[in-house]
Amino acid sequence: MAMRAHLGRLWNGSQARYSPLENKGRSAPAVNYSPIKVVIAVTIALFVLVFFLNSTSYNSREHAHGVDSKSLNTQSAQDIDPQSIYSQPSRKEPVPITLSCENQTAIVCQRPNLASTSSLSTSHHSPTCPEYFRWIHDDLRHWKSTGITKEMVESAKKSATFRLVVLDGRVYVEEYFGQNMARNVFTLWGILQLVNRYPGRIPDLDLMFNCMDQPAIKSAEYSSSTPPPLFHYCNNDKTWDILFPDWSFWGWPETNIKPWAPLMKEMKEANEEVKWTDREPYAFWKGNPLMGFNRHELLKCNATNKQDWNARLYTQDWKQEEKQGYQHSNLASQCKHRYRIYVDGLAWSVSQKYIMACNSPTLFVNTPWYEFFQRGLIPGHHYWPIPNNNMCRAIKFAVEWGNEHQEKACKQVFQYVL
């Protein structure tokens, strides 16, 4: 609760207001449902926000004080005037959200101009949309012909961690469980930053969110019906959750991980300190081996007196690390090996972006799980695929090949994240 109170002070600059809704049995505020492009607009806008975090310096504490203390509201639906929800659309000029891609500019959403729109300035502009943007339409294909109704949204409640409503630029939330989880708090915090960054541009919406490790909407259960729309951090070929950037982009205090922008600055500086050719000529991984079968199998590839698979693997005990003040888990200090290993956990792992940010070839252990940007990655270009049924030999071969062909391996160090 201390973390939640601290975040509340950041929102208000004084006293925490963040708490679960009273009378949880009451329904969240209703909204008029727009076409499915509303969901597309918000998803794209959030991807843009994460994309901007990559190219602009950002101080989360300083920015947080600029958020209206009423932006996040946990009052019950009974306290909201129903007429304000079911009112007729505003006749004011809409504010278009534009996304500039190569040779085209597409209006993805229109929103009544409810607040003055501050100009967005950045010194870095991408000439094209990231490859993973095109998957947004694929994730929403199940509702293309039917649209999304209130009943569909409410049918996802059984698998949701919280329900979130944006109405006239304000954010309302009803938490069902997991109130003490950082992933709840920081997912909401990311949405609050989105609303604050684009005042007057975020359309009214109502969504359910699943903050647990694994997706919940199984495709086999909806072969003849429309699935409930539920947002989550990852998917596989057998689930239909809607992908959303994970909470750690905005920080993860339990593991002492900073928000994306300041952490990337530290990692970039660390990368520049040690050239790739001067790094340890092995594959490195450090993590909790109890979080999934693949991690348990990976540890069998560690060096012994009888066999060296060219892997240097270390276990991470987070409880012990917390007691020691996180002295051995600084992500910026883990970029000292020529190769990094990514292996999934109980589902996807938030570590993927940090591993790839080391500017060392990523040895990617095959996984059925993917997060929002992963489908934009190309095997052999962004990472070296490692079969999970023959990890040790594959890792040894990859490291030996890279060490014997350093010029080619170094060219494959693709700066996808940084």
Residue 130 is predicted with a pLDDT of: 76
Residue 418 belongs to some domain of the structure:
no
Specify whether 289 is located in the same domain as 206: no
Residue 321 is predicted with a pLDDT of: 85
Q: What's the average model confidence in pLDDT over 372-384?
A: 90
* Residues facing 280 on adjacent strands: 337
Higher pLDDT, residue 269 or 59: 269
| Most confidently predicted of 5-14, 115-124, 212-221 | 212-221
pLDDT surpassing 50 at residue 87: no
Residue 36 is predicted with a pLDDT of: 65
pLDDT surpassing 50 at residue 273: yes
- CA–CA dist 297, 293 (Å, integer): 6
Q: Give residue 367's pLDDT band: very low, low, confident or very high (50, 70, 90).
A: very high
Higher pLDDT, residue 166 or 10: 166
DSSP label at residue 257: B
Specify whether 269 is located in the same domain as 246: no
How many residues are given for the chain? 418
Q: Give residue 50's pLDDT band: very low, low, confident or very high (50, 70, 90).
A: low
Q: Which of 19-23, 54-58, 215-219 has the lowest mean pLDDT?
A: 19-23
Scan for tokens 């003490």, then name that residue.
180
Residue 309 is predicted with a pLDDT of: 97
Residue 51 is predicted with a pLDDT of: 53
Task: State what percent of residues in the chain have pLDDT above 90.
Answer: 49
To 5 degrees, how large is the angle CA 245–CA 114–CA 185?
30
Residue 346 is predicted with a pLDDT of: 94
Average model confidence (pLDDT) across the chain: 77
pLDDT surpassing 50 at residue 118: no
Residue 62 belongs to some domain of the structure:
yes
Specify whether 243 is located in the same domain as 124: yes
Helix (H) or strand (E) run with residue 63 in it: helix 60-64
Q: Which of 76-85, 172-181, 244-253, 284-293 has the lowest mean pLDDT?
A: 76-85
| Most confidently predicted of 25-29, 34-38, 281-285, 317-321 | 281-285
Among 251, 268, 294, give the residue marking a domain's end. Answer: 251
- Distance, C-alpha 153 to centroid of its chain: 21
Among 195, 217, 251, give the residue marking a domain's end. Answer: 251
Specify whether 242 is located in the same domain as 303: no
Name residues whose C-beta falls within 8 Å of residue 20's C-beta, 6 or more positions apart in sequence: 74, 174, 175, 179
Round the CA-based radius of gyration of the chain to a whole number and report it: 22
- CA–CA dist 385, 365 (Å, integer): 6
Residue 355 is predicted with a pLDDT of: 95
**What's the N-to-C CA distance of the chain in angstroms?**
34
Residue 350 belongs to some domain of the structure:
yes
Name residues whose C-beta falls within 8 Å of residue 289's C-beta, 6 or more positions apart in sequence: 295, 296, 298, 299, 315
Q: Hey, what are 253's tokens?
A: 């205090």
Q: What Å distances lie between residue 371 and 243, 253, 298, 350, 353, CA to CA? A: 7, 21, 21, 9, 10
The single-letter code of the amino acid at 94 is P
Q: Hey, what are 210's tokens?
A: 């699943």
Q: What's the average model confidence in pLDDT over 26-37?
A: 51
Residue 34 is predicted with a pLDDT of: 52
Among 190, 222, 251, give the residue marking a domain's end. Answer: 251
Domain span including residue 313 = 258-411
- CA–CA dist 242, 191 (Å, integer): 15
Specify whether 222 is located in the same domain as 316: no
Residue 164 is predicted with a pLDDT of: 95
Specify whether 225 is located in the same domain as 282: no
Q: Give residue 128's pLDDT band: very low, low, confident or very high (50, 70, 90).
A: confident
Q: Hey, what are 141's tokens?
A: 């294909």
Residue 104 belongs to some domain of the structure:
yes
Number of domains in the chain: 2
Task: Check if the beta carbon of residue 9 is closer than 8 Å to that of residue 64.
Answer: no
Specify whether 236 is located in the same domain as 327: no
Specify whether 245 is located in the same domain as 266: no
Task: Check if the beta carbon of residue 328 is closer than 8 Å to that of residue 334.
Answer: no
Residue 416 belongs to some domain of the structure:
no
Q: Which of 99-108, 245-254, 354-363 has the lowest mean pLDDT?
A: 99-108
What are the tens digits of pLDDT across the range 192-249? Answer: 999 999 988 999 999 999 999 999 999 999 999 999 999 999 999 999 999 999 999 9
Specify whether 181 is located in the same domain as 272: no
Residue 164 belongs to some domain of the structure:
yes
pTM to 2 decimal places = 0.74
Q: What are phi and psi of 161, to 5 degrees?
A: -90, -40
pLDDT surpassing 90 at residue 133: no
Residue 417 belongs to some domain of the structure:
no
DSSP label at residue 313: E
Q: What's the average model confidence in pLDDT over 265-277?
A: 91
Q: What are phi and psi of 105, to 5 degrees?
A: -130, 120
- CA–CA dist 389, 292 (Å, integer): 14
- CA–CA dist 27, 414 (Å, integer): 48
Q: What's the average model confidence in pLDDT over 392-412?
A: 89
Specify whether 84 is located in the same domain as 228: yes
Specify whether 202 is located in the same domain as 327: no
Strand-strand pairing, 162-167 and 205-209 = antiparallel
- CA–CA dist 285, 12 (Å, integer): 40
Higher pLDDT, residue 94 or 259: 259
Q: Give residue 319's pLDDT band: very low, low, confident or very high (50, 70, 90).
A: confident
- CA–CA dist 362, 384 (Å, integer): 6
pLDDT surpassing 60 at residue 121: no
- CA–CA dist 7, 286 (Å, integer): 29
Residue 53 is predicted with a pLDDT of: 56
CATH code of the domain in which 318 resides: 3.40.50
Specify whether 281 is located in the same domain as 309: yes
Higher pLDDT, residue 100 or 130: 130
